[in-house]
Every structure is written in structure tokens, then in C-alpha cells.
Amino acid sequence: DPLIVLITGCSSGIGLSLAVKLANDEQKRFKVYATMRNLTKKEALEEAAGTTLNHTLEIKKLDVCCERSIKECVESIPGRRVDILINNAGVGLIGPIECQSLEEMQRVFDTNFFGVVRMIKEVLPDMKKRRSGHIVMISSVMGLQGIMFNDIYAASKFAVEGFCESLLYQTMKFNIFLTLVEPGPVVTEFEMKTHEEAMRGDYSKTDRETADMFMNHYLKNTRAVFSSLGQTPEDVAEHVLHVITKKKPQFRHQTNQVYTPVTALKHADPRGGLANDLFYKLVFQHASLMHASLHAIKLIRWKAHKVQQGARMLGLL
Ligand code: NAD
């Protein structure tokens, strides 16, 4: 029998690519419920799904911000069976916090964090009964390391990470896998739209220096990072396929190797100096991520060496 996969936020980007990839699996290992908040946006997915539509891929309505919508969708699946839940739906928010309303910020949390919580609350009891299942979160490297002007977005992804870290021990006991997939920059339509909107935004609610930091440092810098290191949604989908077909899926999975040193800085230097230094250089001194990462790798090696020395002194090595 194919595994039943439910994916949220499939009208575009990573969700759309992933739904199509799984539906086209040559070994026909999956039956995909590709869900989206607004069915009037289903055309792109229908087109990409091609002949898999209504065979290995079915489109359903699901708004992660609405408990009733989630329940209705899950109830409509035979036996309420979801073997693999992929929490992909998410929204971004960039800019100085003075220019963002509390409502906008709460919407980010309601989607990115409480959306995940609502989904898990709905499927977890059934998975526990069956003592099987896999829940995958499309988190972000920003769930591990904050980046300037992404304050609220990063906080929402940190919330997802903390929630999952805590839930993990319960799920392990019930033979349910939990995985945080952490992509770096992914070039989607959404990213370009956010960027263009930000360029046209009104920054009169903040001071000129902050507005300049955002427009002339942050936006230019992110553009460069996206065009040099950005992955495609298909790349990320390939990583998710890999994760869900593993016998023992790991808890964390980063999709962009270039970012691994960046997220390791915090552990290499718990006092925060390394990470802060790298991001300062990146944003204000236009250091390339590669260059800054290389420096970081050297420092991490040095730290690892120190840890080893310490362990030797204690007779542990
Ligand atoms: P996207 O905007 O193309 O996809 C997000 C999808 O979520 C959209 O289809 C949107 O309609 C949907 N969505 C929003 N609110 C919803 C709701 N209430 N209910 C159901 N669906 C809703 O962008 P994407 O890059 O494909 O993002 C997918 C996930 O990947 C997000 O969780 C995002 O945070 C994460 N991510 C993206 C990047 C990136 O650089 N693009 C990097 C790391 C992580």
C-alpha cells in the first residue's frame, strides 16, 4: 500500500514541487494529499501534477490557521490515515519592527508556529494509536540562527524548533519520526515578491539610519546571497524525499551545505562572538558568505581541537 502523505501550502514553491515529486514517484510509494488554503489558486499545481492528478495526487482545501478546516480535511481522508505529515505552509516578514504592526507579526506566528501545532494536534493521536508515522517540518536555517530584519520570522521558526525538540521524546516512544528540514535561501516567487514589496515599502515609521540599513545593506545583500547560494524548490523537494524514505530519519536535516558552518557557530562559541562577528561582516563589510564561512570553519576546527585537548587531559580520549 502506498504511504499517505499530507502536505500543507501546496499552491506554490516548495509545497507544490514536493507534492508533484512524490506523486510522480516511479515506485508509486506515495498517495499525496496536496492541500492549500485557497482552492482558486490550484491551477499551477493542477498543471504541474499532469496525469498524476486524481490518481497519486489529490488536491484538498486546508487552512493551517483554522482548526475546523484542518479537521474537515483530515476527516475526508479514508480512516483519517496520514502516514507522513509535511508542515510546509509558511509566511515571511522582513523589515524594521517599527514598521510592522502587531497584527502582521501575530499572523506570522499564527501560520508558521500555531499552524504546525494545530496540524500536529490533529494527526498525532492517530499516529500514536498506530505506533507509526512521520511528521516533517519545513523549518529554516533561521530556526537555528536569527538574521537581521527577519526578527519575527526567525522567532516563529525558533518556536517550531523548540516545540519539536520538546515533543521528540514522546514521539520516539511511540515509534513516530519527527524531522526538522532546514533550508537556506530558496528562490521562489514568494521571495521575489517579498523583495519587491520591501523595495517599495514605507519606512517613515523608523529612523533614516535604520531604513538605510534595511534598504541599502540588507536588501542588496540578501539579493546577492539568494542569487549565488539560493536553491530551487525542486532541490529542497529532493531532500525531503530523501528524508522520508530513510529507514531511520534523523531529527534535523539542512538542505544547503554552504550554511552548515554558519549554523554551527553558535555551538562552536556559546558566548555568541563568532556568529555575531560573521553576520556583522556579512552585512556591513560585504564579506561573501563563503569567505566568512571559511574563516568560521577554521575557528570551529580550532575550538574542536581545544575540546579534544581538554578531553585528553580528563583521560576521556
Ligand atoms: P511560498 O510562499 O511559495 O509557499 C508557502 C505556501 O504556504 C504558499 O503556497 C501559501 O499560500 C501557503 N500558506 C500561507 N498561509 C497559509 C495558511 N494559513 N494555510 C495554508 N497554506 C498557507 O514559499 P516557500 O518558500 O515555498 O515556503 C514554504 C516553506 O519553506 C515555508 O514554511 C517557509 O518558511 C520555508 N522556507 C522558505 C525559504 C525560502 O527562502 N523561500 C527558506 C527556508 C524555509
Q: Which of 9, 182, 25, 187 is nearest to 86 (CA)?
A: 9
- According to the model, what pLDDT value does residue 132 have? 98
Those residues with Cβ within 8 angstroms of residue 75's Cβ, 6 or more apart along the chain or in another chain: none
- According to the model, what pLDDT value does residue 287 have? 64
Check which CATH number belongs to the domain holding 70 and give it.
3.40.50.720
Among the listed residues 153, 203, 259, 280, the single catalytic one is 153
With beta carbons less than 8 A apart as the criterion, state whether 36 and 10 touch. Answer: yes
Those residues with Cβ within 8 angstroms of residue 20's Cβ, 6 or more apart along the chain or in another chain: 45, 48, 49, 52, 57, 237
Q: Which of 107, 59, 116 is nearest to 85 (CA)?
A: 116
Residue that is last in its domain, among 255, 285, 307: 255
Residue 316 clears pLDDT 80, i.e. is over it = no
Task: Count how many domains the chain has.
Answer: 2
**For residues 136 and 252, what is the distance between their CA atoms, to the nearest angstrom?**
10
Atom 6 of ligand 1, nearest CA residue: 9
Whether residue 240 is found in the same domain as residue 287: no
Query: Which residues have any ligand 1 atom within 6 Å of their CB?
Result: 8-9, 11-15, 36-37, 63-65, 88-91, 111, 115, 138, 140, 183, 185-186, 188, 190-191, 233
CA 283 to chain centre: 22
Domain that includes residue 37, residue range: 3-255
The least confident of 142-146, 155-159, 260-264 is 260-264
Whether residue 69 is found in the same domain as residue 213: yes
What average pLDDT does this structure show over 86-109?
Answer: 96
What average pLDDT does this structure show over 134-144?
Answer: 97
Give percent above pLDDT 90 in the chain. Answer: 70
Residues 40-76: b if buried by 16+ CB within 10 A, e if exposed: eebeebeebbeebbeebbbbbebbbeeeebbeebbee
With beta carbons less than 8 A apart as the criterion, state whether 284 and 275 touch. Answer: no
The ipTM assigned to this model is 0.99
Residue that is last in its domain, among 229, 255, 281: 255
Whether residue 128 is found in the same domain as residue 98: yes
Give percent above pLDDT 70 in the chain. Answer: 96
What average pLDDT does this structure show over 215-244?
Answer: 91
pLDDT tens column, 64-76: 999 999 999 999 9
Ligand 1 geometric centre to CA of 67 (Å): 19
Is 153 marked active-site?
yes
Nearest atom within ligand 1 for CA of residue 186? 40
Ligand 1 geometric centre to CA of 132 (Å): 27
DSSP state of 145: S
- According to the model, what pLDDT value does residue 217 have? 84
Whether residue 112 is found in the same domain as residue 55: yes
Atom 36 of ligand 1, nearest CA residue: 140
Residue 315 clears pLDDT 80, i.e. is over it = no
pLDDT tens column, 248-295: 999 999 999 877 777 877 877 778 887 888 777 777 776 666 666 677
Ligand 1 geometric centre to CA of 89 (Å): 5
Ligand 1 geometric centre to CA of 15 (Å): 7
Whether residue 225 is found in the same domain as residue 262: no
Specify the higher pLDDT residue, 190 or 219.
219
